[in-house]
Structure 1
Amino acid sequence: MNMVSGGSEGANGGWPTGLHGSAAQGGVSCKDSVFYGLCYYGRILNTPVEDLVAEFEEEWKPGNNDYSRKLVEFCSSKALSIICSNLQENIVNGSFSRLTFDFMLAWERPTSADEESYSESVAKEREDKKVVAEGSQVDDDIPLFYSDIMPLLVSSEPSIGEDSFVWLGSVVPFVCDVCNGRFTFEALTASTANRLHFPAYDRFITEVHKCSKYLQNQERPKGIIFADDEYILHMDGTATTQRVIRHIGGASWPGRLTLTNYALYFETSGIIAYEDALKIDLSKDIDHSVRPASTGPWGAPLFDKAIIYESSQLKESMVLEFPEMTSSTRRDLWLTLMKEVILLHQFLQIHKIESQIQAWETHARTILGILRLHAAREMLRISSPVPTSFLIFSLFADLPKGDFVLEELANSLKQVNSINPCSPSFILRQLNMENPSVSSTAVRRGIEESVDDKSDTLSSLESTIQQVREEAKEVSAAKATVEGLKEEGISDSILVLMCTWQHREWIGKAIAAFLVWTVGKMIKEKQESSRDKCTKIVVCSGSDQTPMETIVSAQHGLKTAQAMVQTANITMLKIRSILVARSPKVLDAFVNSWLLSSPILFSFPRHLIQRYDTHG
């Protein structure tokens, strides 16, 4: 079926341009102005408008609210099942991005009242911007939107918000995943006031498709046979990318590093070709340890751009360095991707997801998340996004109560028993990344679940994600405060001490008493001839360490001392915050515990403690 081209559709509001009032031509009563764009869906589905409305109202419950939006969801879901059946062609010709953007606009503003409210807010925002522009030029140094080749956006163009973006991800996980869609949207719209415009959205979709093609064309590691459902997720150290160095003792070996959804492969560079790859299986149920590290000449930790991997399948730890001129974004990316693959397989093992369809659905969601991460990094080259914003398991492993979200995700995956054109596994199949053992599964040509059933399935997951997200913001703000106090708290405390110091009369007397006591101690030692007790002084010779090793040891000692001072400073600040009731909840907990323990300690027989000490 040929897709409808939408070059100018959706430019003036929720429904595509030129289709307002088209439903009335078919004899359908216009309820709350929602039928203005039904012909748009009718053309895609090749279905009369009356049949679409009748089919929707058969499943619609009269007591439910938001008739307009539910109708948009119903029509969009049916249309997307057809669009995704030929996904790759629709991405290449641009119809996928245009149509899905129009669907999001329609979902965000399904009625004429919503459209009028949006127009008023846009006009007010435009006036506010004019006032700010006339007053000052504070924002002159803000970098261009995404990159220098991205078209400059004008404020009159339509844009979508976070809720519509997440809704589309719940229907088509190619755009985003419902689990981390809000985090993805924040990363994509950080420089555009949390609004996503079509040029950026279109480029994002195009980059995801390009990244999938790029990874499929990469050469497989030498001497390795991939599993049927194993695909390359990231590669570095090739002729067209930056170097990767493996450190073994005092030796360093450059090579090519490849990550798949099952393992990590390192191929040492030879004179002519690469040597056989070293395989590190990340899917095994063993203790995997991946952490950042610092490397440098003679073992000096000068450059914080390395990764250390440790597990029982290796005799010694594997150190990989990712050289960069300035930051350590390459290292951070590899570290996050390796953790994501490890956590993926741990998730499957912990929740006992053994069905091939369910396991491949989980793999597909992870692979699509990594593709979206690569696409976003290509778009946001000026300021690379945080990798975890596009991944599932790495994100919720670090968030408070993130395990609740993963539990909800596991429950939803266990309900999957077949694939449909909008499922993650079918989307990968359209991108030529399929699992042969699952590809023969019958694909449902359409979304059989009603709109209500779909929303009921996602409501629990969405509420849990929202709760975790709010708590994550609070924790992030608290951590930022603590990190600032680590450096600033020491100097601030000294300044406060100097400003609030009050001289007391007894201080001079105390110093005089200390001097008199010291003199008396010295006279006593002189009378007892203590100087004859130590006739020989032994001076220890220097250590066997080289000068470089001594410098490294001193550096480690300095870092340890600094960390101890910072920890002590934070501890004192926490104690002070409790004493001055800065945190009422914590103060109440301490007061209650102390009040309960005081009578117990007061009335507890002392002879029992002495008897216990004697027998112990």
Structure 2
Amino acid sequence: MSGIQEIVAKKVKVTMIESLIKNQPNTFRSIFQRKKSKNEENSPSGSPKSIPQLSPFANSVVARCSKILQMPTEEMQQLFESELPGMNKEPETYSRCLLEFFSYQTLYSMSRRPDYLSDKDFRRLAYDMMLAWECPGSESEPLPQETASCSNEEVEDKEEWSLFYSNSTNMAVQFDDKKTVGPEAFSRIAPACIALADIITVHNLFDSLTSSSGHRLHFLVFDKYIRSLDKVIKATKNALHPSPGNLHLSEGEIVLEVDGTVPTQPVLQHIGISAWPGRLTLTSHALYFESLGVGLYDKAVRYDLEADTKQRIKPELTGPLGARLFDKAVMYKSTSVMEPVYLEFPEFKGSSRRDYWLDICLEVLRAHKFIRKHNLNETQKSEVLARAIFGIFRIRAIREAFHVFSSHYRTLLTFNLAESLPGGDSILETLLGRLLLINIDGMQRDASGSPPEKQQRQSSPNFLLALRQLGFTLQKEIGYEDDAVLAGDVWVGETNPLEIIVRQSISDSGRAEAAQATVDQVKVEGIDTNLAVMKELLFPFLELARHIQILASWEETYKSTTFLLLFCFAIIRNWIRFILPCILVFLAVLMLCRRKFGKSKPLEPFRITSPPNRNAVEQLLTLQEVITQVEALIQDGNIFLLKIRALLFAVLPQATDMVALLLVLAALVFAFLPFKYIIMLVLVEAYTREMPYRKETSNKWIRRAREWWIRIPAAPVQLVKSEDSKKKKS
């Protein structure tokens, strides 16, 4: 009976749901539809006039832009055609540039509000601009009118929504894979809003956001990124006024990151053999460490990142009592501290926490080095720091929202990227050129997003103004009004010089990574295996040396005599100087022939016969033998130098007299005999030692010289312990 009752109950529930859907269909439909924005609700009933050159979706974006800017679309179109007359050539170019014109001005206008990142309409419109950029023309394939991502706009910042796609962004793309954004659209629209992206790191930002979604950006991921960025900025604003008893921040100093406040994730400061837990704070100018006392933090120790004190920050090993065990620390060293300071970030697996702190500390340090190197003024200095601060905000947002940490060439920090990329100095030089154009007395800037000469002659501190708009003050008086336009680094229909340099550097880094991948593939383990590889690679040179040794042994008198006469004739005729150029030309011709006629043929792998496998103990014994041989060679070299020292200081007078006489004779030979004849004499003497007529005499003279060398004493050596070891013992 219980089973029948369950079936009847299920049928009743289905019937009630069906009747509810029939009676109130709009209620359920509204759940999956985007809620109208306030601008749409308050707008007049007459819809903006559509532009024939744009697609329906692009027209919808332009209509929303027109309402925000409070300017009719036809008037905006006329303004575009008058300011940018060169963009009217091709229909596709015209429609895309027109869309960029509307989008840039709208983003500039919306970003003047201090809370624009919290506005869901801003996030939706910015994403729709990217979608429309990929299909701007009227002949483009139309996008679906509704998108499943819109259903999440009503969702506020709740844990359920966060968990939905924080675990796997693939779920979002599988949910709706028709309306996603590619890298080109993202790189053209996102940098128009300074807080969202930097033109230098925008491609790396896109890679981080789409690392698990097939290199396509879904609205859910984009929306979560901006929400996380908004959280980071608000949290940073709340940390602007720390407790006065611990940190004493200077004017314009902004707290960027704090770690060590959670007992399970402390930060340990190592100085010498002592270690102490505490709280670490990074600001726009320095690092602060507050040791944890009895329930309270002690006075903060300040490590200045702004001053020119030969500072170094690098990853380092650390452990208890100075032992180098764990690769989880950052070393700070400068002339202002007596000995290096090690800041350890303990975690159970990996070192991502240390790597994150290393990156953000290096970004601030390199920004200040860039400022000092070019002697920038106060406004330019604040602009550089603002660019670095926005980069740290973005990397924090990505790390906290998606738990993604960038690799070496994929960093989201401007100055770290310029340091790691090939040609990164060109990026900084281009950036410097933009900074030098900042007009300190200028108050306004054209909001068209176009690059005419009037905008190139003067520039405004856009990043500094954007940071100030969000509530941060790096510089008290900057000479710009609060309503100055926050123009980004993108221009309508044009490519920013910074973007050109970055793309070239990224292309070069891609080739470098590909080359490094081949290097990693051919690396082999084991001393015997590496020696076998080297022996095979040097096989032609070893064979040449073997043949010359056979000729010098005079086993075949005819061949040895012919080789000696030909070589002496070449020396006398001064042909010896052409040997090296001929070899180089031969190699160049060989390479060019291979390049021209061997394109279709792949390079065959180098075949090497691997030595028999050895276990770990045998490899250690082989390594010990090699080390012993190297040590013996170094000892022989030291003995040779000490005997030369003894001869120079006349420890053995008879030997010193003989050496002095030989040196005088050698000087006379070099002074009066042509150099080619000296080379020929040395060659003939060395080549004919094994000749049957002189073999016995040569061996006798070599024996006498060896016996004479053995009788020469070595100069004395005294080992003195270093002062550092004495201090440690005391």
Q: TM-score, normalised by structure 2?
A: 0.58
Secondary structure at the aligned position of 2:196 is classed as: coil
* Cα distance change on mapping 1:188 and 1:148 into 2, 3 Å: closer
Contact 2:395 2:412 survives alignment (8 Å) = yes
Note if 1:47 corresponds to 2:71: yes
- CA shift digits 1:155-180 (9 cap, x unpaired): 44411111121112331121110011
Q: Which residue of 2 aligns with 1:200?
A: 221
Contact 2:127 2:219 survives alignment (8 Å) = yes
Q: Which residue of 1 aligns with 2:561?
A: none
Secondary structure at the aligned position of 2:85 is classed as: coil
Q: Which residue of 1 aligns with 2:286?
A: 263
Q: Among residues 102, 108, 113, which one is paired with 2:139 in the alignment?
A: 113
Aligned-partner Cα distance in 1 for 2:501–2:533: 44
Q: Among residues 511, 524, 544, which one is paired with 1:474 in the alignment?
A: 511
- CA shift digits 1:68-89 (9 cap, x unpaired): 111111111221122111141x
Q: Which residue of 1 aligns with 2:179?
A: 158
Structure 2 letter corresponding to 1:69: R
Offset at 1:349? 1.9
* Cα distance change on mapping 1:391 and 1:489 into 2, 3 Å: farther
- CA shift digits 1:89-136 (9 cap, x unpaired): x322312211111111122221133335x89xxxxxxxxxxxxxxxxx
Note if 1:317 corresponds to 2:344: no
Aligned-partner Cα distance in 1 for 2:425–2:334: 24
Q: Which protein is bigger by CA-based radius of gyration?
A: 2
Offset at 1:492? 5.8
- CA shift digits 1:585-612 (9 cap, x unpaired): xxxxxxxxxxxxxxxxxx96576999xx
Structure 2 letter corresponding to 1:471: D
Offset at 1:293? 1.2
Note if 1:424 corresponds to 2:463: yes
Note if 1:102 corresponds to 2:128: yes
* Cα distance change on mapping 1:149 and 1:168 into 2, 3 Å: closer
Offset at 1:345? 0.7
Q: Which residue of 2 aligns with 1:83?
A: 110
Aligned-partner Cα distance in 2 for 1:247–1:110: 58
Contact 1:296 1:302 survives alignment (8 Å) = yes
Offset at 1:296? 2.2
* Cα distance change on mapping 1:231 and 1:446 into 2, 3 Å: closer
Secondary structure at the aligned position of 2:280 is classed as: strand
Q: Which residue of 2 aligns with 1:405?
A: 427
Offset at 1:338? 1.3
Note if 1:335 corresponds to 2:361: no
Contact 2:169 2:213 survives alignment (8 Å) = no
Note if 1:68 corresponds to 2:95: yes
Residue pairs, 1:377-526, within 5 angstroms: 377-381=399-403, 383-386=404-407, 389-417=411-439, 418=442, 423-438=462-477, 441-443=480-482, 445-446=484-485, 456=494, 458-488=495-525
* Cα distance change on mapping 1:8 and 1:286 into 2, 3 Å: farther
Contact 2:131 2:181 survives alignment (8 Å) = yes
Offset at 1:480? 3.4
Could you tell me which runs of 5 or more consecutive residues in structure 1 were left unpaired when the two chains were aligned: 1-6, 120-142, 503-557, 569-602, 611-616
Note if 1:281 corresponds to 2:308: no
Aligned-partner Cα distance in 2 for 1:199–1:46: 29
Q: Which residue of 2 aligns with 1:512?
A: none
Note if 1:147 corresponds to 2:174: no
Q: Which residue of 2 aligns with 1:575?
A: none
Structure 2 letter corresponding to 1:434: T
Q: Among residues 240, 247, 259, which one is paired with 2:270 in the alignment?
A: 247
* Cα distance change on mapping 1:174 and 1:29 into 2, 3 Å: closer
Aligned-partner Cα distance in 2 for 1:302–1:49: 66
Offset at 1:280? 0.8
Aligned-partner Cα distance in 1 for 2:199–2:395: 15
Offset at 1:188? 1.4
Offset at 1:436? 4.3
Secondary structure at the aligned position of 2:315 is classed as: strand
Which structure has the higher relative contact order (CA within 8 Å, separation 6+)?
1
Residue pairs, 1:155-194, within 5 angstroms: 155-194=176-215
* Cα distance change on mapping 1:108 and 1:269 into 2, 3 Å: same
- CA shift digits 1:457-515 (9 cap, x unpaired): x5322111111001111112223333444455867657889999x9xxxxxxxxxxxxx
Offset at 1:431? 2.3
Aligned-partner Cα distance in 1 for 2:367–2:99: 34
Q: Which residue of 1 aligns with 2:587?
A: none
Aligned-partner Cα distance in 2 for 1:209–1:240: 27
Question: In the comparison of the two structures, how many residue pairs are matched?
Answer: 472
* Cα distance change on mapping 1:455 and 1:412 into 2, 3 Å: farther
Q: Which residue of 2 aligns with 1:365?
A: 387
Residue pairs, 1:596-615, within 5 angstroms: 605=676
Structure 1 letter corresponding to 2:517: A
* Cα distance change on mapping 1:604 and 1:427 into 2, 3 Å: farther
Structure 2 letter corresponding to 1:49: T
* Cα distance change on mapping 1:416 and 1:367 into 2, 3 Å: same
Offset at 1:437? 2.1
Q: Which residue of 1 aligns with 2:326?
A: 303
* Cα distance change on mapping 1:402 and 1:497 into 2, 3 Å: closer
Structure 1 letter corresponding to 2:285: Y
Aligned-partner Cα distance in 1 for 2:313–2:487: 43
* Cα distance change on mapping 1:112 and 1:245 into 2, 3 Å: same
Residue pairs, 1:120-131, within 5 angstroms: none
Q: Which residue of 1 aligns with 2:590?
A: none
Aligned-partner Cα distance in 1 for 2:136–2:516: 41
Aligned-partner Cα distance in 2 for 1:277–1:447: 37
Secondary structure at the aligned position of 1:258 is classed as: strand
Offset at 1:243? 0.6
* Cα distance change on mapping 1:264 and 1:53 into 2, 3 Å: same
Structure 2 letter corresponding to 1:73: E
Offset at 1:256? 0.8
Contact 2:268 2:275 survives alignment (8 Å) = yes
Aligned-partner Cα distance in 1 for 2:71–2:214: 39
* Cα distance change on mapping 1:83 and 1:267 into 2, 3 Å: same
Q: Which residue of 2 aligns with 1:128?
A: none
Could you tell me which runs of 5 or more consecutive residues in structure 2 were left unpaired when the two chains were aligned: 1-31, 145-162, 448-460, 540-619, 631-673, 682-730
Contact 1:145 1:192 survives alignment (8 Å) = no
Aligned-partner Cα distance in 1 for 2:467–2:220: 24
- CA shift digits 1:22-70 (9 cap, x unpaired): 98x74x7623658733322211111112211111111122465411111
Aligned-partner Cα distance in 2 for 1:85–1:371: 18
Q: TM-score, normalised by structure 1?
A: 0.68
- CA shift digits 1:260-296 (9 cap, x unpaired): 1100111111113111111111011231111111122
Deviates more, 1:317-326 or 1:35-44: 35-44
- CA shift digits 1:423-452 (9 cap, x unpaired): 322332232212342466224554789986
Structure 1 letter corresponding to 2:179: P
Structure 1 letter corresponding to 2:480: T
Offset at 1:9? 6.8
- Cα-Cα RMSD: 4.0
Aligned-partner Cα distance in 2 for 1:336–1:322: 14
* Cα distance change on mapping 1:447 and 1:342 into 2, 3 Å: closer
Aligned-partner Cα distance in 1 for 2:167–2:55: 39
Identity %: 32
Aligned-partner Cα distance in 2 for 1:168–1:221: 42
Aligned-partner Cα distance in 2 for 1:10–1:196: 22
Secondary structure at the aligned position of 2:112 is classed as: helix
Aligned-partner Cα distance in 2 for 1:105–1:254: 49
